[in-house]
Amino acid sequence: MECFWAHGYEGTGITALLEHMGIPRQSMYNTFGTKEEILLQSVDLYSAELHLMLREAIKDATTPFEKVDRLFDFWSGTNPSGCFIGNCVAEFGQTHDRVAEVMAGKLDSLRSFFRDIFQEAIERGDLPAERNADDLAFAMLTFSQGLALMHKTMTNDSQWHGTIETMKRSLKS
């Protein structure tokens, strides 16, 4: 995962993977099969870890909006290499059916996580009943992926935090 995250799929050679994992070539093929399988298992690992971290970030929040605030606080401290899933989406796009399908599933899982938070806000009356939890979740997913991408190059902390505050206000209105 670390190799792919740092260098991308195309930028990560088999030799680099073997060295990083500390295993011989045949063990890699016996265990994983292909470089693509290693990538997909890395994405599974990242996705599981990300969901654990997101749940941990919001565990003590008492309202949906507090959860949203905590999620943005979480993203404020994210990896400057961006989101591993987002990086894979950017590298592969729709050019590789299997990888694109897996990435779409991982992004949909994140969207569902966000949708549950916004649905709770609507049900509690924190948001108007006419708001759409799916639309808000997609906006949150888009914001989070954009933040992760921009974090790779953004060096102005006040601009970063200003962007986060703007997004928080727009999702809550």
In this structure, is residue 33 part of a structural domain? Answer: no
Interhelix angle 14-21/35-58, rounded to 10 degrees, is 50
pLDDT at 52 over 90: yes
Mean of pLDDT values over 40-51: 94
Which of 2, 11, 156, 170 minimizes the C-alpha distance to 90? Answer: 11
Most confident of 9-18, 26-35, 112-121: 112-121
Contact (Cβ atoms closer than 8 angstroms) between residue 9 and residue 53:
no
Mean pLDDT, residues 42-53 taken together: 94
**How does residue 47 score in pLDDT terms, banded at 50, 70 and 90?**
very high
The answer as to whether 150 is a domain residue is yes
Whole-structure pTM value: 0.85
Full domain range(s) for residue 131 = 47-172
pLDDT of residue 78: 63
Q: What is the mean pLDDT of residues 70-82?
A: 77
* Structure confidence by residue, pLDDT tens digits, 88-136: 988 887 788 888 899 999 999 999 999 999 999 999 999 899 999 999 9
Domain assignment present for 119: yes
Residue 100 lies in a domain: yes
For residue 108, the model assigns a pLDDT of 96
Domain count, the chain: 1
Q: Which amino acid type is present at position 18?
A: L
Q: What confidence score (pLDDT) does residue 50 get?
A: 92
pLDDT value of residue 131: 92
Predicted pLDDT at 79:
67
| Residue 72, domain member (yes or no) | yes
User: Which amino acid appears at position 31 of this protein?
Assistant: T
Nearest to 44 by CA among 93, 4, 74: 4
* Residue 27, CA distances (Å) to 19, 33, 35, 62, 98 in order: 12, 9, 12, 48, 24
Q: Indicate whether 155 belongs to any domain.
A: yes
Measured distance CA(84)–CA(86) in Å, rounded:
5
3-state secondary structure of 8: coil
Residue 154 to residue 18: CA distance in whole angstroms:
32
Q: Domain of 86: which CATH number? A: 1.10.357.10
Assess if residue 38 is contained within a domain.
no
Rounded to an integer, what distance in angstroms lies between the CA atom of residue 80 and that of residue 78?
6
